[in-house]
């Protein structure tokens, strides 16, 4: 807007009455007339549009350039700040404008020589701050059951909110950011490949964002089996319990017990162990092994051989002596013969 500019001035205006045949002459008091010039103010914002959190410079230009005083910047009735006029301009910077349309005006306060004036509104457009998420794994590939930490770094790092970690469409966990960082540790990923992403939630002023897919490879865990016998050596016919301890202790599945290549039995693992009791091993040495069959997350494995020695049962023999011998005489025709009669238990 262009206005005529007037300088401040003082004009003395005395007036006299000369009188008449009926009235005496008189003179008025001096009148001081103060004249103030008009002012004009224009206003702009740079950059426009802007992102939330970025600095915006508001510049008001006051005419004439000799005007002094200050300029207030307002959004509606809310005072954003004020700045003194220097060489016809007043400037201030701010980064607190909310997302959306922000109509702003500049108001010149006026001074002794110039009247106040108000600019036409300028609408400052503020968009949500753009963000990005970088995702990393502490160990890749990893083994089943091994702890893995996924770390999401959100940029810019001053944003707040949460990061949701997903395996495909499955939510693994949600973590609040600290200085733009969120980390999630877990050891529950199954063997195989997993498509991990990190999603920053955003808020009213910050845009949401999603990381690139991180392919986490989880290999089956190595397993071991240790085998023990409840009694070794053992006597023939005695019950013996063979116990297999499987590591890692979360392994599932079964253990097969073998005597050489002969299967003795198969037992389901419970809390990392499986036990088989039997009493039918023959006398002699038996090479016993336990073979873990593995599962979806754990490799199979076999124990070292335990040589189970089964001893024959000890026996005792007691000799009680022979029975009594009886003799008798029998007559046969004209002669006789001595005949030994054997004890009943030895006679046929």
- pLDDT (tens digit, 9 = 90+) per residue, 290-348? 999 999 999 999 999 999 999 998 888 887 777 655 555 454 444 444 444 445 554 43
- At 345 the pLDDT is 52
| R_g (Cα) of the chain, nearest Å | 54
Mean pLDDT of 80-100: 96
154-209: pLDDT as tens digits: 999 988 999 999 999 999 999 999 999 999 999 999 999 999 999 999 988 999 99
CATH at residue 92: 2.60.40.10
Q: Percentage of residues in the chain with pLDDT exceeding 70?
A: 86
Whether residue 1 sits in one domain with residue 91 = yes
CA-nearest of 118, 109, 115 to 35 is 115
Say which range, 1-5, 55-59, 257-261, 299-303, has the weakest mean pLDDT: 1-5
CB atoms within 10 A of CB 103: 11
Say which range, 28-42, 62-76, 80-94, 98-112, has the weakest mean pLDDT: 28-42
The DSSP-derived string for 130-179 is P-EEEEEESSSSEETT--EEEEEEEESTT--SEEEEEETTEEEEEEE-BT
134 in Cβ contact with 56 (< 8 Å): no
- Higher pLDDT: 30 or 67? It is 67
- Could you tell me if residue 343 is inside a domain? no
Q: Which domain holds residue 151?
A: 132-219
CB atoms within 10 A of CB 262: 8
Q: Judging by beta carbons within 10 Å of its beta carbon (0-12, 13-18, 19+), is residue 212 exposed, middle or buried?
A: exposed
Q: Is the pLDDT of residue 87 over 90?
A: yes
- At 335 the pLDDT is 45
Q: Judging by beta carbons within 10 Å of its beta carbon (0-12, 13-18, 19+), is residue 334 exposed, middle or buried?
A: exposed
Mean pLDDT of the residues in the chain: 88
- At 38 the pLDDT is 87
Rounded Cα distance, 159 and 130, in Å? 10
- Higher pLDDT: 22 or 47? It is 47
Whether residue 215 sits in one domain with residue 184 = yes
Mean pLDDT of 53-61: 95
Assign 323 to helix, strand or coil.
coil
- Could you tell me if residue 328 is inside a domain? no
- At 6 the pLDDT is 42
The angle formed by the CA atoms of residues 79, 80 and 86, to the nearest 5 degrees, is 105
- Could you tell me if residue 347 is inside a domain? no
- At 295 the pLDDT is 95
- Higher pLDDT: 287 or 320? It is 287
Rounded Cα distance, 301 and 224, in Å? 6
Number of domains present in the structure of the chain: 3
pTM of the model as a whole: 0.68
Whether residue 5 sits in one domain with residue 85 = yes
- CA 328 to each of CA 259, 325, 335: distance values in angstroms, whole numbers, following the listed order: 64, 10, 14
147 in Cβ contact with 185 (< 8 Å): yes
Q: What is the largest CA-CA distance in the chain?
A: 229
CB atoms within 10 A of CB 42: 15
- Could you tell me if residue 85 is inside a domain? yes
């Amino acid at each position: 807007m262009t206005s005529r500019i007037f300088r401040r001035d003082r004009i003395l205006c005395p007036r006299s009455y000369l009188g008449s045949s009926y009235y005496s002459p008189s003179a008025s008091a001096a009148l001081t007339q103060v004249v103030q010039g008009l002012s004009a103010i224009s206003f702009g914002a740079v950059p426009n549009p802007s992102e939330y959190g970025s600095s915006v410079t508001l510049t008001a230009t006051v005419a004439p350039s000799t005007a002094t005083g200050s300029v207030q910047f307002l959004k509606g009735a809310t005072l954003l700040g004020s700045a003194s006029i220097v060489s016809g301009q007043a400037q201030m910077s701010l980064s607190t404008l909310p997302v959306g349309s922000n109509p702003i005006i500049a108001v010149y306060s006026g001074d002794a020589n110039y009247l106040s004036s108000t600019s036409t509104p300028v609408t400052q457009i503020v968009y949500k701050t753009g963000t990005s998420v970088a995702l990393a794994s502490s160990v890749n590939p990893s083994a089943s059951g091994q702890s893995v930490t996924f770390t999401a770094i959100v940029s810019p790092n001053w944003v707040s909110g949460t990061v949701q970690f997903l395996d495909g469409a499955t939510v693994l966990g949600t973590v609040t950011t600290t200085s733009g960082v969120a980390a999630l540790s877990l050891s529950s990923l199954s063997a195989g490949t997993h498509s991990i992403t990190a999603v920053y939630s955003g808020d009213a002023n910050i845009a949401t964002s999603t990381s690139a897919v991180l392919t986490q490879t989880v290999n089956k865990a190595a397993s071991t089996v240790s085998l023990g016998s409840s009694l070794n050596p053992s006597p023939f016919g005695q019950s013996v319990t063979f116990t297999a301890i499987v590591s890692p202790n979360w392994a599932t599945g079964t253990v097969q017990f073998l005597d050489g290549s002969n299967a003795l039995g198969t037992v389901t693992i419970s809390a990392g162990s499986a036990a088989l009791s039997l009493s039918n091993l023959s006398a002699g040495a038996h090479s016993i092994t336990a073979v873990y069959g593995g599962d979806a997350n754990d490799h199979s494995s076999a124990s070292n051989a335990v040589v189970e020695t089964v001893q024959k049962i000890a026996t005792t023999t007691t000799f009680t002596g022979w029975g009594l011998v009886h003799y008798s005489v029998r007559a046969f025709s004209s002669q006789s013969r001595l005949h030994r009669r054997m004890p009943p238990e030895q006679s046929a």
